[in-house]
A and B are shown apart, each in its own frame.
Chain A
Amino acid sequence: MTYTIRLNVNGKEHTVEVPSRRLLIDCLRYDLGLTGTKEGCSVGVCGACTVLMDGKPISSCLALALFADGKEIVTVEGLAREDRLDRVQQAFIDYGGFQCGICTPGMVVTAKALLDENPDPSVDEIKEWMMGNLCRCTGYYKVIESIQGAARRKRQAGDSDEGL
């Protein structure tokens, strides 16, 4: 039983034939070749598979691909513009938030959504948002510093901000 879905991923329209049981993460990775999104626990706990659906972080391992029909999806591949990294990505490099790389795409995508909603989050707010993104290298403080750094740079850029 296959169905046709139309979804916008990182600004690009796609029409995909999917079996009813296709998960969104598999659709992104195997149908669209976007392997930046990682699968960790497969039960919505670890956060590695976080993507944005209509701007909100969700677990793509808990969503059927059919849920994405008519929706806008943003994955980690959708953050950088041409040769320029998104501010959150750059901060993860500069502040040491980038570690082995498995949790990073989910971390970066969640942090991006946080800063879009709240440009000046407190440490507690950062912790609340990032609570569901697990890192087994145990480096949460660097992640918090990275997000604070990205937020600071975004505020300093002010009106000249291009979203990067």
Chain B
Amino acid sequence: MRAFEYREPDTLEEVLALLHDHGEDAKIIAGGTALVIMLNQRLIMPSYLISLRKLSGLNSVDSVDGALQLGALVTHRDMETSPVIRDQIPVLAETYRQVATLRIRNMATVGGTLAHADPSQDSPVTLMALDARVGLTSSGGSREVALDEFFTDYYETVLQPDELLTHVQVPLPKPHTGSIYLKFLPRTEDDYATVGVAASVEIEPSSQLCRECRIVMGGVASTPLRVKEAEALLSGQKLAPELLHKAASVVQEHTDPISDSRGSADYKREMAGVCVRRALEQAWQRALA
């Protein structure tokens, strides 16, 4: 690891001022579970490391206007155990619980994961299926970006060098909506997903037809991948095996996985279809329940 200047401000203003002055040469560190490895392997060599560990105010889950607002510094373990999350958006608690091990979940943060932008991570997939938005702030002002438009490539996002991701806003699920995250893990429980799929299905209760759905996959492209063409297929339809097979083949066409130690590209594409079918069916069942 190369030496760097370390700053540990206790106010947001100081963090933003440091980013304004040193953004291009600085990295933000929160839990550090991803960044410390990248520093150690010299994949990144920032001159400044700006730690958020002494910052207060970004580590709570708050109800705001039909949504839950997650502070960027909320840990995975907090997400897994928070009574508010478990009660109001249980699929989020289920997703964060499947990340790595307890040790990692004690350190890794909600915002850190999104800024890191590894397309094999779990939570971005579910958050995107839930139509989440992220809040980005710089000393020049703030903006909100739909998670759909946040990721641009492997480890790349729309975050500017002087911007900090401060929170994530997740709308509360509408009535008669079921959501699920399926993580396909052929190796060990604590691994990154070979393929991860989140599906959210809203149904019309009287007819049981799908009103709206979202399908997002992880591990099969350079960013979490939402397939609107497959979503459109389902809208207004009744749950049926043929429909799910059709949706699965559409999502497979959109995948662009790489072959690595977690599976060949062909295997991942195949399993993406299988997982999408299963996820849609289970989300639909949850919507009916």
Q: Which residues of A contact B (CB under 8 A)?
A: 1, 3, 19-21, 23, 42-45, 47, 50, 53, 56-59, 61-64, 66-67, 69, 110, 128-129, 131-132
B:188-221 near A, CB below 8 Å? 189-190
**Min distance, Cβ B86 to any Cβ of chain A, angstroms:** 16
Residues in B whose Cβ lies below 8 Å from that of A128: 102
Contacts A21-B1, A21-B2, A131-B101: A67 and B32 contacting too (C-beta < 8 A)?
yes
Q: Which residue of B lies closest to A21 (CB)?
A: B1
**Min distance, Cβ A129 to any Cβ of chain B, angstroms:** 6
Q: Can you give 29 A-B contacts (C-beta < 8 A)?
A: A1-B4, A3-B6, A20-B3, A20-B6, A21-B3, A21-B4, A44-B100, A47-B101, A56-B77, A58-B103, A58-B107, A59-B33, A59-B104, A61-B36, A62-B32, A62-B33, A62-B36, A63-B32, A63-B107, A67-B51, A69-B8, A131-B101, A131-B102, A132-B100, A132-B101, A132-B102, A132-B103, A132-B104, A132-B190
Number of A-B contacts (CB under 8 A): 77
- The one of B2, B6, B32, B102 that contacts A57, using a Cβ cutoff of 8 Å: B102
A67 to B29, CA, bound (A): 10
Residues in A whose Cβ lies below 8 Å from that of B32: 62-64, 67
Instruction: Verify B6–A47 contact, CB threshold 8 A.
Output: no
A21 to B38, CA, bound (A): 12
Residues in A whose Cβ lies below 8 Å from that of B4: 1, 20-21
Q: Does B49 contact A (CB under 8 A)?
A: yes
Q: Does B172 contact A (CB under 8 A)?
A: no
Residues in B whose Cβ lies below 8 Å from that of A61: 36
Residues in A whose Cβ lies below 8 Å from that of B39: 21
What bracket does the count of chain B residues touching chain A fall in?
Answer: 20 to 34
Contacts A45-B190, A64-B32, A131-B189: A19 and B3 contacting too (C-beta < 8 A)?
yes
B:69-85 near A, CB below 8 Å? 77
Q: Which residue of A lies closest to B188 (CB)?
A: A131
**Min distance, Cβ A102 to any Cβ of chain B, angstroms:** 17
**Min distance, Cβ B99 to any Cβ of chain A, angstroms:** 11
**Min distance, Cβ B201 to any Cβ of chain A, angstroms:** 29
Residues in B whose Cβ lies below 8 Å from that of A43: 37
A70 to B53, CA, bound (A): 11
Instruction: Verify A131–B190 contact, CB threshold 8 A.
Output: yes
